[in-house]
Structure formats: structure tokens, C-alpha cells
Amino acid sequence: MDQKEKITIQRLGDNQNMARISKVERSTKESQVKVELNLDGTGKIEVDTGVPFFDHMLSQLGKHAGFDLSVKTSGDVEVDSHHTVEDTSLAVGQALREALGDKSGIRRFGDALVPLDEVIVQAAVDLSGRPYLVHRQPEIVELIGTFDTTLGKHIWESFVAEARIALHIRVIEGRNAHHVLEAQFKAVARALRDAVTLDSRVSGVPSTKGVL
């Protein structure tokens, strides 16, 4: 770990008592991030990253996944929003991985097809323990207000890297940039909602390897 980076992770409870809760603090010279995540929440969201459009997207992720999600980031947004968005996405990915614990009893796989007006997005996820992203979307305008839309894919790259999941996102149809990005967050949220769900028919870790 780089000397300039400090990461603190706390996991509360275990899968057996349903307390799938994690806290992550990530501190660098570019940002300070605090994330609290409850996989078995009710969609209670508190997000403040200093990047309003990104706040809106993270709120979609937590709400539609049914997670309780708290995110507080203080970053060098006076430079631009890249560091804040990247480091926050990494921390949210870490929080997901830690909250899942050993993944015993989960469904593991999830997928969703989500429309938003003229946009339709397909997302599929495997909580595999192996980071892999496939991302397909049409060209969209470079800015939504002041938000750099080229960060859209990078959010998922960062999230996947630390969550250690396989994630496929495909924008099947779309035109409006806001809708294109928002539908992705909603689709991923719904896919994650299924994948993290505890299934009474699953005994132990859902893998022939015995570990994920």
C-alpha cells in the first residue's frame, strides 16, 4: 500500500445474524472518503461527495438496491472531480466486498433490464471475487452540467476493482446523457439487489470451488 494512502475497513456482524454492514475510510492527499453500507437496509441514503451529479447517481445505486448507504467525501474538487469520483467509487466497492463477508448463502448472480424514458440498460453481475468489467454505451455529450461524462465508465472500473465482481453493462438504446448514466446506476442496483440476497436454498458458498 502506498504511504500516501490510508485505508481503514470495519465489518460488523456476519451472514448468520444478517448484520451485513461495513464501514470504510479511505484517506489520501487528494481525498478523504467515509462509506457506511448495510446490504439488508431499506434504501436509506445520505450522500455528499461535493460532486452533485455523482451524489445523484450514488443515491440511485443505494435506493434501488435496497441498501442503506452513507457516503461522505472531501476531495480536491477545485482541481477537478476526477480524484473525488475515483476514490469514492473505490471505497464503495470496498464496502460492498467487506459487507458480503464470505458470501455464504447469497444468490451470487443478478441481472436487470431497466428503462428510463428513451433509454434501456441491461446489467448483469457475478459476485465472483474476480474483477472484470464489460461496458458498452453510445457516445454522449461530454458534460452534464459540470460533470465530466467520461468519468462514467471509470466509476464502474473503480467500483469493480475493489468490489471484485464481474459486471456487464450494456446500453441497448439511449440518447439523453443524463438518462444514459442514470439508467446504468439503476440497472446495476437492481442486479446487485438480487445477487446479494440470501437464499435459503443455498448451502454455504455458491461455488464448486468452495470460495468466492
Can you give the pLDDT at residue 9? 60
| pTM recorded for the entire structure | 0.93
CB neighbourhood size of 17 (10 A): 7
Can you give the pLDDT at residue 210? 84
Over the stretch 154-206, which tens digit does the pLDDT of each residue have?
Answer: 999 999 999 999 999 999 999 999 999 999 999 999 999 999 999 999 989 98
Over the stretch 34-92, which tens digit does the pLDDT of each residue have?
Answer: 999 999 999 999 999 999 999 999 999 999 999 999 999 999 999 999 999 999 999 99
pLDDT class for 33, splitting at 50, 70, 90?
very high
pLDDT above 60 for 15: no
Torsion of CA 42, 65, 175, 82, to 10 degrees: 100
CA distances from 132 to 12, 159, 180 (A): 27, 10, 21
Can you give the pLDDT at residue 208? 87
Shortest CA distance to 81 belongs to which of 150, 177, 135?
A: 150
Can you give the pLDDT at residue 19? 84
Over the stretch 105-115, which tens digit does the pLDDT of each residue have?
Answer: 999 999 999 99
Distance (Å, whole) CA 167 – CA 170: 10
pLDDT class for 16, splitting at 50, 70, 90?
very low
Distance (Å, whole) CA 127 – CA 107: 9
127 versus 16: the higher-pLDDT residue is 127
103: left (phi over 0), alpha (psi -120 to 50) or beta: left
